[in-house]
Amino acid sequence: MNAICPNHNCKVYSQSLFQVKDGFYYRRDDSRYIQRFKCKICYRKYSNATLTLEKYQKKRRINYILRANLSSGMSMRASAYNLKVSQKTIERKLIYLSKKAKIRQLEFLNIIKQNPVHDVQLDDLISSVHTKLKPVSVSVVIDAKNYIVLGAKVAEIPAFGKLAKLSRKKYGRRVNQHPLVLQNLLNDLTEVVHRSALIKTDEHKMYPLIIKNTFPCSRHKVFKSLPASIAGMGELKTKKYDPLFAINHTLASFRYGIDRLIRRTWCTSKSPEHLQMHIDIFLDYYNEKKLWKRFKSKKIKKIPMAM
């Protein structure tokens, strides 16, 4: 890291001028010597750890393995037991890892902007928060050619079907956030998806309007929903050819990799925000895995790991 002054009130704030080395300290948590610095203008002392997201962490060693565990179908409680840390630590790490994942995903999308995606698929995954009476929808957009997730966002939706009446009675009317969240998700991807891209979706009634608003020059193809198989996590289809296989396979991977999305699981989300955090971590891990497989043979340097 280049030394830059972290003091907001200093004349050389966030500049590397007049910054000098000022010894080391030993960080017992990961057995490393950390360089310290001093600003010669404001005399503020700081170190290589000051401006990182991991500042004040005491269990840096588990960050990497926890990220893999949370994206491989392991519950937070099981991760806490296996890594011999408190459940509270895992709760805090979830927030940290999601911040890290968001930064990495933004960097990744900036790289994709140079070559916008031409083949896009879009669909929604239904889950619930606290109880089945409070359903949520996760809108997912992918690059269908490379099976890379471009974005995923959680929205609260009203209960439907047999549970609708009971849900209204017990928890009142729920706001349908889905159209707004989907619009925001697509707005974030206007530079990543090519103007004249081919967008494939199922017959959801909201899709044509929102896609036309955001990508007026795109080609939107709609396919009829097919019956799903239980072995495919309720997402993969039983028929022999599925034109939306890429998105359905990705959603099945979401269900397989995130414990709280597995069907008939013992794990539930307690809030949409935490579900979104877990999805952000998984999405970053999933993209890295896909890219690593693709570039392994070509010896291309892989994206740096979260640490």
Query: Which residues make up the interface to Zn ion (CB under 5 A)?
Result: 5, 7, 10, 39, 41-42
CB 146 within 8 A of CB 115: no
Tell me which DSSP letter residue 209 carries: H
Nearer to Zn ion, 18 or 245 (CB): 18
Minimal distance in Å, beta carbon 51 to Zn ion? 13
* Residues contacting 24, CB < 8 A, separation 6+: 33, 34, 35, 36
**Would you tell me how many other CB atoms lie within 10 Å of the CB of residue 163?**
16
Grouping H, G, I as helix, E, B as strand and the rest as coil, residue 128 is strand
Nearer to Zn ion, 49 or 157 (CB): 49
CA-angle at 289, arms to 286 and 295, nearest 5°? 140
CA 211 to CA 190: how far, in whole Å? 11
CB 245 within 8 A of CB 228: no
Residue 11, φ and ψ in degrees, nearest 5 = -65, -35
Whose CA is closest to 128, among 156, 161, 152? 156
CA 20 to CA 109: how far, in whole Å? 36
Nearer to Zn ion, 39 or 281 (CB): 39
Show the tokens assigned to 11: 């004349």
Nearer to Zn ion, 5 or 120 (CB): 5
Whose CA is closest to 269, among 62, 75, 65, 81? 75
Long-range contacts of 230-239 (CB under 8 A, 24+ apart): 233/262, 233/263, 234/263, 235/125
Minimal distance in Å, beta carbon 286 to Zn ion? 41
Nearer to Zn ion, 15 or 89 (CB): 15
Residue 236, φ and ψ in degrees, nearest 5 = -70, 150
CA 104 to CA 112: how far, in whole Å? 13
Minimal distance in Å, beta carbon 48 to Zn ion? 16
Minimal distance in Å, beta carbon 22 to Zn ion? 13
Nearer to Zn ion, 39 or 189 (CB): 39
Nearer to Zn ion, 18 or 256 (CB): 18
Minimal distance in Å, beta carbon 56 to Zn ion? 21
